[in-house]
Every structure is written in C-alpha cells, then in structure tokens.
Amino acid sequence: MKVIILAGGLGTRLWPLSRKRYPKQFIKTWDQKLSLFQQTIKRSMLLAEPRDIYVVTNLQHKFLVMGAMEELGISYSEDNILLEPEAKNTLPAIYAGVHEIAKGGEDTVAVFPSDHKIEKEAEFVKLICAAEPLANDRLVTFGIKPDAPQTGYGYISPGERLGIGYKVSSFKEKPSQGQAQDYIKKGYLWNAGIFLFRTDVFTDEVKRYAPDIYEAFENSTDITTAFAKIDRKISIDYGIMEKSEKVAVVPADIGWNDLGSFDAFYQLAQKDERGNVADEGAVLLGAHSNLVYNEPGKMVAAVGVEDLIIVDSRDALLVCHKDQIQKVGEVVKILEARNDSRTDYHMQDYRPWGQYKILEEEKNRYKIKHISVNPGQKLSYQMHHHRSEHWIVVGGMAQVTIDGVESFVIAGESIYMKPGQKHRLVNPGKTALEIIEVQMGDYLEEDDIVRFDDQYGRKL
C-alpha cells in the first residue's frame, strides 16, 4: 500500500495561530508533543514504509515537511515530496501523487489530510486494511457518524450495502442548520476527506470525469508543467466522487476531528476545573470556559471572562467570543485587503538552511533577528543596497565571507557588513549556529537582496 498525505492548505480559520507560511498541520499547541502532520506521518507508517509515503505540498512548506521528518528521526527522500507550483484544490494534488505512484506499477493508495486529529489510531489502521478489498474496484471514502448538526462539513448518504461499507447514494454540500439536523435523522455521515482506491481505478475515473486533469499529466514531464495546463481549481469531491458510479463509503468510528476551528481545539483539549484551556503561564481569575494561547515568554491574564478565544502571538492578538469564531476568516480577508504580511508570516519563519525569528523592528530604521543555521548549511552569497548587517554569534561558530575574504567568528564575537558588500554565512559545525542579526537602513524588506553565483560572483 502507498500513502498520499495532503499538506497544503491555508488555515485562515485559525489565524493568528496559523499563517499561510506556517499552517495548522505544522503547529504544536497546548498539550501536543507532535504536530498534526507528524501524527499523520506516524499513523501512515503503520500502513506503509517511509519510501511509500508521498507528501503533496508547496515549496514554502517543503522545509517544514523535512524538518518534521528529521525531528521524528525518519530518513525521508525529498523525491517523495511533490511540490504544487500553485494551489488548485484537492483533485490535482491527489492525482499528482497517484500519477507518480503509478510510474512504479499499479497499487492501492490511501489519501490522508495532514491536519486532522484521529484519537483511535489502532481502529483506524484496522479499518483501512479491512476496506482494502472494497477498494479493488471502488473509490472508497470514510464517513464519520455525526455527533451534532455541524454546518461546516459535507455529508454522505449511504445506500446499498457493500461488504463493510455502502454504495454512496449522494453527496451533500455544507448544509444549513435545519438541513444538517435532517441529514442526521436520515443516517447521513460526515465526509472525512479520507480515501482509499487502486491507482488504475482512480485514473480511469479521472480520465472519464476530469479529462483535462488526466491530459495535463499525460502530456507533461513534471508536476510544474502539468499544473500550468490546468486552468481551474477543483476538489476531488466535486470533480470525481460526486459523479462516479463506483464510490463506496465505510463508516468510521475513529475519534475523528478536522480541528478546523478554535472551538474544535477547545472541545478536544484538557480543561481545568473551570473549563479553561490554557498554558501553565496564563493567570485566570474568575474565568470560565475560555481557550487561551500565549507564546513562550508571554503571559496572558484573564479576569472575570467566559467563553472567549484568546490567542496572543508575538505580532497579533485575537480576542473572540466562541459564538463568533466563524468570523475569524473575515479578519484575514480584511488584513489581506490591506496587504498586511501578518496573514502570511509569523515573526518566526523557516528556510532551507534553518529558521529565524524577528525580535524587534521599527520600519525603515532597524530590525533585530535571532537566526539559527542548521549544521552544514549556508545562506546564499548576497548583497544589500539599503541596509547594513551586524552579526553577533551567540552559539556555535560562523564561517563568514565578505567580498571574497573568509573569516571565522565564534560565540561572543561579531562581524559587520556595510551596504553593498557581498557576504555569506555558513555553519561549518555539527551543532546549530545561532546569531543575533541587527539590520539598519532605510529599507529592510526581504526583496532588498541581490544573490550571486558562488564561484564567480555573478548575479543570479
């Protein structure tokens, strides 16, 4: 069996905890020791070897994927990370994985979202294995028995019995409250977005119902070229599952939650005697039924409040009543209209060479960063027109090149680059290199970078 994990998504309903550059599947919050993505990887490894697990994501998240694998101690090939050049919804993403897998021969494929919580992992694995015979000639989806009339999920109507599952009579889009109550009375299931099928069966259905997707990959040598030929965004539900006559649904009692809102986090998290969910650093007096998140080093005090969502990150604060959580996405839209980068970035960002965190900044004057460079990694050979940089090494040893002159800087020492000087930072050691970078100038944005060829100093 092969596994495809979908690790794209924006997570706007969980802003400011989740950002486009750092969506919810990679975040560890409250009592989670592993991110949702890491939990998905560990579940997948109960069904397949790492070499048989494919992750579909985008370039911005590639290094979050590799970092999560490294933290788990998994040796994982970058060739198994399929990078979407542009988000075009789930059908092109899934078919990219299926097309890649089919190059090595037909096989059974399980498709998992990377941002769902599954409490009953043993039962989940048994269910996937038990459904494998049904997937020999069917597209199998897994349905969750509703525990409330949720309007944020799609619903599936089970029909004729098929072994451990049912033939799907119909799919229903996200309903109104009244419709959701009616669906539950009729025995409908939530659509969990988990699938199981043979590569050849799925390919035939894509060829029949979404020929443009099929042709795009058949006539391309790589995923980037194929995506360029696809001129629409389309989900697997709308593109295939709602049209195919070969769809089956298997009921799944697996402790599933898509954690698509702060309320979902609240329902699952461990609560204190007054129903609050909070880190140990929070101070709650006369407060009831609140969800409180604060970054390490910050403290939140909540007095005499109830039913609030409080998320205090380094650069944004959200205070929201629980019955208004559906409007968090509207906040993101307002910020996007303002071109506010806080929809995309945290103060901490991840790069191929490591990560950095913005500690302090004042627009067009200065910016202070904490930079961590992984062992053996290096930043690009670059130059800035509008700013100087002062590097203070606080951990490890830095190999620094300035205008072709190389030097080594150890902890407690510093080095300075003027505007216009070509420079490079390398970590030659076996432990992380940590520096404090102070930028000064009248323009401090990321696009004030000129990168050069390593050997000849030519502009890239």
What pLDDT sits at residue 46?
A: 95
Q: What whole-number distance in Å separates Cα of residue 205 and Cα of residue 201?
A: 6
Q: Is 2-257 a domain of CATH 3.20.20.150?
A: no
Categorise residue 209: left if φ over 0, alpha if ψ from -120 to 50, beta otherwise.
Answer: alpha
The set of residues, in sequence order, having a beta carbon less than 8 Å from that of 249 and lying 6+ positions away, is 140, 141, 142, 143, 156, 158, 165, 166, 168, 189
Is the distance from CB of 72 to CB of 41 less than 8 angstroms? yes
Which burial class, exposed, middle or buried, applies to 208 when counting CB atoms under 10 A from its CB (0-12, 13-18, 19+)?
middle
Q: What whole-number distance in Å separates Cα of residue 97 and Cα of residue 31?
A: 32
3-state secondary structure of 214: helix
Tell me the average pLDDT across 321-337: 91
pLDDT of 460 over the 60 cut: no
Burial 357-377 (b: 16+ CB within 10 A, else e): ebeeeeeeeebbbbbbbbeeb
Tell me the average pLDDT across 414-418: 95
Q: According to DSSP H, which parts of 288-390 are helical?
A: 328-337
pLDDT of 84 over the 70 cut: yes
- CATH topology match: 2-257 vs 353-451: no
CA–CA distance from 447 to each of 192, 244, 380, 403, 451 (Å)?
A: 41, 47, 14, 21, 11
Average pLDDT, the chain: 89
What pLDDT sits at residue 457?
A: 56
CA–CA distance from 44 to each of 131, 179, 334 (Å)?
A: 15, 35, 38
3-state secondary structure of 460: coil
Task: Give the model confidence (pLDDT) of 15-71 as tens digits.
Answer: 888 888 788 888 877 667 888 999 999 999 999 999 999 999 988 888 889 888 988
Output the six-digit token pair for 50: 């790492």
Name which residue leads in pLDDT, 451 or 409.
409
449 — pLDDT class (breaks 50, 70, 90): confident
Q: What whole-number distance in Å separates Cα of residue 128 and Cα of residue 133?
A: 10
What pLDDT sits at residue 264?
A: 83
Is the distance from CB of 259 to CB of 116 less than 8 angstroms? yes
413 — pLDDT class (breaks 50, 70, 90): very high
Tell me the average pLDDT across 166-183: 85
The domain limits of the chain are: 2-257, 271-327, 353-451
How is 110-144 classified by DSSP, letter by letter?
EEEESS-EES-HHHHHHHHHHTTTGGGSSEEEEEE
What pLDDT sits at residue 345?
A: 75
pLDDT of 325 over the 90 cut: no
Which burial class, exposed, middle or buried, applies to 24 when counting CB atoms under 10 A from its CB (0-12, 13-18, 19+)?
buried
Task: Give the model confidence (pLDDT) of 122-140 as tens digits.
Answer: 999 999 999 999 999 999 9
Specify the CATH number of the domain 353-451: 2.60.120.10
Q: What letter does residue 239 receive in the DSSP assignment?
A: I
How is 365-408 classified by DSSP, letter by letter?
TEEEEEEEE-TT-BPPPEE-SSEEEEEEEEESEEEEEETTEEEE
Greatest C-alpha distance within the chain: 75
